[in-house]
Amino acid sequence: MTGQAADISAVIFDMDGLMFDTESIVVEAWKHAGRAYGYEISASLVIQSVGVNSHDTQVLFEQALGPAFNFHRVRTLRDQYVDDMIEHDGVPLKDGLGELLDVLANHAVLKAVATSTERTRAEILLRKAGVSPRFEAVVCGNEVQRGKPAPDIFLLAADRLQATPRNCIVLEDSESGIQAAVNANMRPFMIPDLKPPSPAILAMVEQIFPNLHAVASYLSDIFTASVNGKRES
């Protein structure tokens, strides 16, 4: 078990695909919106955009679908489709999220959200999911000049938490997010969602978990061992 509790001052969460089970909804929403404008948007193209900010997603889609592709119009329809699904069914939480937040709160570990999603939409999702009050900071894609895999969003999150980057754990489901965590000199923990990690990404991660329950158990063991060690010393 690597890393002692004293070395963990903050945990930074990605949002879509990590906290919320929304990536599959987004894939279907892009397909639906694309067809409405005469484009077939593949699941593989959408998955390539996971963890990427709006500007870089636009570049990716225009490269794949041609410069005539009206990204902003199609994305607006995509957003409406996602909003309708969430309004009807609520925000789908990833299993173990509440448990993990409880573990971190019980041990006074600071928590931030760092998402490529723009702030307006991110705040709506966090509020509807009922988790906004559980984070000390939220950093969004439109607040940094460079998106993931650049380290900017994670460094800004650490700055707002007044945490040292090397003492921050980053929880990510995307390859670009893992690369950003490494570039920020933070500890990358991966919980894959739609896309299995490549060998190159597997070589970068400190830990890989099947779900947030496993993350909660792992960190709880570290904190418990630290408390027991202090009692024995």
Catalytic residue, chosen from 14, 16, 56, 173, is 14
CA atoms lying within 13 Å on the CB side of residue 51 = 28
Residue 106 has, within 13 A of its CA and on its CB side, a CA count of 14
Q: Quickly tell me which residue has 């380290």 as its tokens.
A: 151
Q: How far, in Å, CA of 184 to CA of 96, rounded?
A: 26
**pTM for the full predicted model:** 0.88
* Vertex 122 angle, CA 197 and 148, to 5°: 40
CATH class of the domain defined by 5-21+93-232: alpha beta
Q: Is 14 a catalytic residue?
A: yes
Per-residue pLDDT of the chain (233 residues; tens, 9 = 90+): 445 676 899 999 999 999 999 989 999 999 999 999 999 999 999 999 988 888 999 999 999 999 999 999 999 999 999 999 999 999 999 999 999 999 999 999 999 999 999 999 999 999 999 999 999 999 999 999 999 999 999 999 999 999 999 999 999 999 999 999 999 999 999 999 988 999 999 999 999 999 999 999 999 999 999 877 666 65
